[in-house]
Structure 1
Amino acid sequence: MSMATLTIDELKSQARRLREAMASGGTAVTHGTALELVAKSHGVRDWNTLSALAARRDNAEVDPVAVGAVVSGEYLGQRFRGRVLALSRLSQSSYYTITLHFDEPVDVVTFDSFSAFRQRVTATIDGKGISPRHTSDGRSHLVLDL
């Protein structure tokens, strides 16, 4: 398995196996030393560099939700439950465009004398399912319960 496909957990497992193998051969090493040796075996300077590369790959490869998934959360401060109709990663970005269809329409207006219901919405979210855009009171437009 190449470093390009290894996760942080797999790299830590390599370090554990290396430590065990060295100990069985009579050479005791600390876990930290084993992590540094694993990093060098993958051609990088140190464990911090290797783990940062693996974390970036881990986060970049996993979409926050799948198309067709049933999700819940808040849209403009109102609770919802709905289905993901579309999800696409914005090019060269860590953000996604998501289209949701709510089970029940959500009133997106907070005034008592006026209502505006939405049942299908499109928004931008990050990898944690949170919109970078905020309302005037500082709440994210969309927050998925992930």
Structure 2
Amino acid sequence: MSGQLPTVAEAKRLAKRLRAQLDAQGTPVSHGNALELVAHQHGFRDWNAFHAAMGNRPPESWSPGGRVEGSYLSQAFSATIVAVEMVRPGWFRLVLDLDEAVDVVTFDSFSNFRTRIRGVVGPDGHSRERTSDGLPQLRLDV
């Protein structure tokens, strides 16, 4: 068992990769079985115990003073995290100070620049809210 546990999202990505590797070797497993195998690799009896130990905490870099990159309204940004609050398991409200202002208006004749944004993101780093073209309003690189 490693000293540092992954986040739930990281553990799920590990399970997905493991499943693909096993499938390529001719040993297909279900996603649930891959999750169990990842739990065992980290020294836990099953996925439920592993999930409880991970606690749906945010990635380590998602703490005040931490640095993140991503996009807001489809515009790339780099930012410093000002505040983090869990709103429900796996979902976090973040306040971000952007290194450079982003224009939140898409009209040529009008602009509205923001240097601080707030948003709620889930375990994959994406907001539930979408832009008119279907993309997440806020997306963090995790």
Q: What residue is the counterpart of 1:88 in the other structure?
A: 85
Deviations 1:55-87, CA, capped at 9 Å, x for gaps: 354251x31312111111100111111100000
Q: TM-score, length-normalised on structure 1?
A: 0.63
* Helix, strand or coil at the partner of 1:119: strand
Structure 2: gaps of 5 or more residues: 7-36
Identity %: 33
Deviations 1:103-138, CA, capped at 9 Å, x for gaps: 111001111111110100110111222111111211
Aligned length in residues:
106
Q: What residue is the counterpart of 1:51 in the other structure?
A: 47
Q: What residue is the counterpart of 1:111 in the other structure?
A: 107
Quick check: 1:87–1:98 contact (8 Å CA) kept in 2? yes
1:136 and 2:125 aligned: no
Quick check: 1:59–1:127 contact (8 Å CA) kept in 2? no
- CA positional deviation for 1:94: 2.5
Larger Rg: 1
2:86 and 2:47 map into 1 onto residues whose CA distance is 24
Q: TM-score, length-normalised on structure 2?
A: 0.64
Greater helix share, structure number: 1
The residue type equivalent to 1:63 in the other structure is: P
The residue type equivalent to 1:75 in the other structure is: Y
Structure 1: gaps of 5 or more residues: 1-5, 15-37, 40-49
Match of 1:74 among 59, 63, 71: 71
